[in-house]
A and B are shown apart, each in its own frame.
Chain A
Amino acid sequence: MMVGPGWPYWAFIGLLAAAHFTLHLALGLGPEAPDLLTVAVLLAARNTSGAVAAAIGLVLGMLQDALSLVAFGAEAVTLTVLGYLGARSRDLFLGESLGFVGLYLFVGKWLHDAIYYTLAGPVLRGDAVVRYLIMAPLAALYAAVAGVLVLMLYRFATGER
C-alpha cells in the first residue's frame, strides 16, 4: 500500500495553487508569471493515487475555468488527464532528484499546453506551430524552473529529501 506524504506536503500544494491565483488574478499577471497550478497538480500526482490526482486536477481546473468565457471546461479536462497521467508515471519512472523533477515538470507542462490548445482551439491567438513548438516549450521551461525552485524551498523548510 502506498504511504502518502504528510500534511505539510498538501499544505505546500495548496499554497502553490493559492500563489497561482494571487499572481494571475489578484495581481493580474499573464504569461510573465509561471503556471503554478499545473506545477501543483503534477507535484501532487507524484505522491498520490491516480484517482485522487485526477480529482485534484478536476477541482483546480474548475477554479481556473471560472474565469474562462471562451473555453470553459478545457482546463478541467486537461488537468484531470494530467493528474492521472502524472500519478501513473510513477509506474514508469522513479526519481526524486531535482533534475528529474524539473524534467517531469517540463514534459508535464508541455503536455498540458498541447492538450489545452487542442481543446480550446481557434479562440486562442497565433498559429498552431507557434503555440505548440515555441510558446508551449517556453512556458514549460519557465514552469519547470519555478517548480524546482519552490520544491527546493519546501525541502529546505521541511528537511525532506
Chain B
Amino acid sequence: MANYFEGPRRGRRRETLLAGVFLLIALFLFFLPAAYQGPVRSLIRSTALRPFLVAQAQLSDRRSRAVDILELRAERDSLAAVVAAQATLAEDNRRLRELLGLAARAQPHFRPAEVIVAGVPGAESTFLINVGRRHGVRVGSAVIAAGGLLGVVKELDEDVAQALDWTHPDFRVSAMTADGEAYGMVQARRGRFREEDLLVLTSAPFHSDIRPGTWVVSSGRGGIFARGIRLGVVVGIEEADTGWRKSYLVRPAVRPESVTHVLVGVYGEGEGRADLSELWNVVAPPDTVTVPNNGASGEPRNGSARSSTEP
C-alpha cells in the first residue's frame, strides 16, 4: 500500500501518541475540579500574563488622570459640601456613643480599585481588579460602583482579584425592595447581547405588587453582601407563577461595560452583617425575625440592627 504520509510510519505513530498525551493533559485541566483550577490560573496570571495585566492597570491609571479637571473640581466641591454638613453629625454621634458606652458602628471598609477587563471569550461576565489578598480583599467581597452593586470577588491573587459581575449566570444576591415590602433573590436575565442583560427579582410573594420605578437593594440576608446596596429599578413584571410567586424585571443600577473604577469591600467576615442603607438613602426598616428566647415567648429582634449596634 502506498504511503501517502511523509516520514516513516513509526515516527508518525510516536507523533500521534505524543499529541494524544498533550490532549490528555488538556482534558485533565478541563475536568479538574474548580478548587484545583484556581491555583493553576493564579500561577499563570502572576507569571506569564503579569506584564499584560500590569500594562492594562497602568493604561487605566493614565486614562483616569486624563479626566477633565473641571469635572473633578465640581465633584470635589460637592463632596466637600457634604462632608462639611455631616461633620458635626458625626461628631455628635461619636460623643453620644461614648456616653452610652457603645463602640463605633461596624462598617465595611472599602478600597478603591481599577477594573481590568480581559477580552477573551472565557472571561465574559468577569473582570479583574488591581487589588488582592495583600490589600485585605477576600473571596465574597462585594464590588461596588458609584451607582450600586457591580459584582463579587471570586478568586484571589496577592495583587489581583477576579470577580463575577452581575451578568454572570452564577450571580445571586438576596434582595428586597427599598421600602422593605417584598423580599426575593436577584439574578441575571441574559439577553442575546451584553447590552440586553437585565436583572430579575425572583421569588417575590404573589400578593406583592411592586410598582415600576421601585428601587431594589440587597437585603443583607445570607451574609455575603451588606444590606442596602442598590441593585436596580423595577421596570415591570416578568412572570407570575399562579398562586405562588412573582418575578419582576429590574433595570440594573450599574452597567458593567461602563465601569472603570470600583470600591471593593475588605471588611471580610462581618461584611454581610453591615448596613449600607445610608449610602443610597434606603428607607426600609431593618429585616426583623422572631427568635425564641430560651423557649419563652418569642421576642421580636432586629437582626441587622442588633449586629450594627452591638458594642
Contact = CB atoms under 8 A, between A and B. Distances in A.
Contacts of A120: 121-122
B168 to A, nearest CB: 8
A73 B51 CA distance: 22
Nearest to B192: A126
Contacts of A128: none
Contacts of A119: 30
Give the interface size bracket for A toward B: 35 or more
Nearest to A31: B119
Interface in A59-102: 61-77, 80-81, 83-84, 90-91
Interface of B: 4-7, 14-16, 18-19, 22-23, 25-32, 34, 37, 40-41, 44-45, 48-49, 51-53, 55-56, 59, 116-126, 128, 154-155, 162, 164, 168-169, 190-194
Nearest to A24: B119
18 contacts: A22-B55, A25-B49, A25-B53, A28-B56, A50-B16, A54-B23, A63-B48, A65-B29, A65-B41, A67-B49, A67-B122, A68-B123, A73-B31, A73-B32, A75-B120, A91-B5, A119-B30, A125-B194
A111 B281 CA distance: 52
Contacts of B4: 91
Contacts of A26: 51-53, 55-56, 59
B120 A72 contact: no
A46 to B, nearest CB: 13
Interface in A108-158: 116, 119-120, 122-127, 130
Interface of A: 1-2, 21-31, 33, 49-51, 53-55, 57-58, 61-77, 80-81, 83-84, 90-91, 116, 119-120, 122-127, 130
A77 B27 CA distance: 6
A133 to B, nearest CB: 14
Given A28-B117, A66-B41, A124-B121, A73 B26 contact: yes
Contacts of B56: 25-28
Contacts, number: 168
B193 A50 contact: no
Nearest to B28: A73
Contacts of A21: 49, 52
Given A72-B41, A81-B23, A116-B121, 17 more contacts: A21-B52, A23-B119, A24-B119, A25-B119, A50-B16, A53-B19, A66-B44, A67-B123, A68-B120, A68-B122, A69-B123, A69-B164, A73-B30, A84-B23, A91-B6, A123-B124, A125-B190
B19 A50 contact: yes
B30 A28 contact: no
A25 B50 CA distance: 10
Nearest to B123: A67
A72 B22 contact: no
A2 B6 contact: yes
Output the residue of A29, A61, A63, A72 with the most chain B CB within 10 A. Answer: A72
Nearest to A25: B52
Contact of B119 (A30, A57, A66, A123): A30
Contacts of B25: 58, 76
A125 B124 contact: yes
A70 B122 contact: yes
Contacts of B119: 23-25, 27-31, 33
Given A1-B7, A28-B117, A73-B29, A58 B22 contact: yes
Nearest to A29: B119
Contacts of A1: 7
B150 to A, nearest CB: 15
Given A24-B118, A67-B123, A69-B122, A125 B19 contact: no
A69 B118 contact: no
A72 B164 CA distance: 15
B169 A123 contact: yes
B59 to A, nearest CB: 7
B155 A69 contact: yes
Contacts of A127: 192
A8 to B, nearest CB: 22
A99 to B, nearest CB: 24
Contacts of A91: 4-6
Given A68-B122, A72-B29, A84 B19 contact: yes
Contact of B22 (A23, A31, A73, A80): A80
